[in-house]
Structure 1
Amino acid sequence: MSLLERLNNDMKQAMKNKEKDKLTVIRMIKASLQNEAIKTGNDLTEDEELTVLTREVKQRKDSLHEFEKADRQDLVEKIRTELTYVEIYLPKQLSEEELSEIVKATISETGAASKADMGKVMAAIMPKVKGKADGSLINKLVQQHLS
């Protein structure tokens, strides 16, 4: 089942169950996917869909951080709820241990020796873990292993 079919089915179910928050998030995801499809001029590949979903998660995490800084608990709860709904459509996230192993393997593959090689390592890692891990966590792990 494609992501769009899954979203449509979940949207129908959310309507039946009168889950307004979930319905709103699903509609936002669908709109983002459709906008991306219009921008590219063709149907999205799974990789492109994953990019859109990752962007949606990142936007919400950034908003969450800002709302926490501003001490807006009402909005913090709303964004956390939205995040849980968006993350349902992402692939299973890798644990920190699994990521650490991937980082070590990639560092040895690229022959990186210092923090100056960080860009080379990040460029090699990101396609491997796309949608399965947070970029900031990967960045932190790469820094730890290169120091």
Structure 2
Amino acid sequence: MKLAKIGLAALALVGGGVAPLAVGATPAEAASCGGRLVDSIAVKKGGKTYGTLKLYYSSATGKNCARLDRVVNYGTKKGMILSLYACGKGWSVSRCHRDFYKVGQDSGQFGQYAGPVTVPGRGRCVQVQAGVQAKDNSWANYNSPVFHCG
């Protein structure tokens, strides 16, 4: 996972790498989000689901967490990108992804999932951007509205 400021153009690019697992963590533990599932969104292109975006909120920590699961060509390492933005105070619906408080971002060549990524959630709205690449190099992208304000 990387914390970086990125914009909408990042969905067209896949860069970065895979963060190593925490010492002692299994892949399943490293890939899970704590808290309650608050949204599950299909990332589609032309009616075909490329991935599933899952958004969680933990009232214990006050954090939002997102994970993007690959559906198309599961197990084949192709591009995936996931960005979760915590909107800043006085955010604009159209500009949260540019005028944000914090961003969690993960991108690279993944066969199963991207993330998890976390951002502070108490008293903030979030916005998510996700992209999944298929074997034929086509991309399905999802750009959420500003939502799940807490």
Which category describes the TM-score, using the shorter chain as reference length? under 0.3
Higher relative contact order (CA 8 A, sep 6+): 2
Structure holding more helix per residue: 1
Specify the structure having the higher radius of gyration (Cα): 1
Q: TM-score, normalised by structure 1?
A: 0.25
Q: TM-score, normalised by structure 2?
A: 0.25
Structure holding more strand per residue: 2
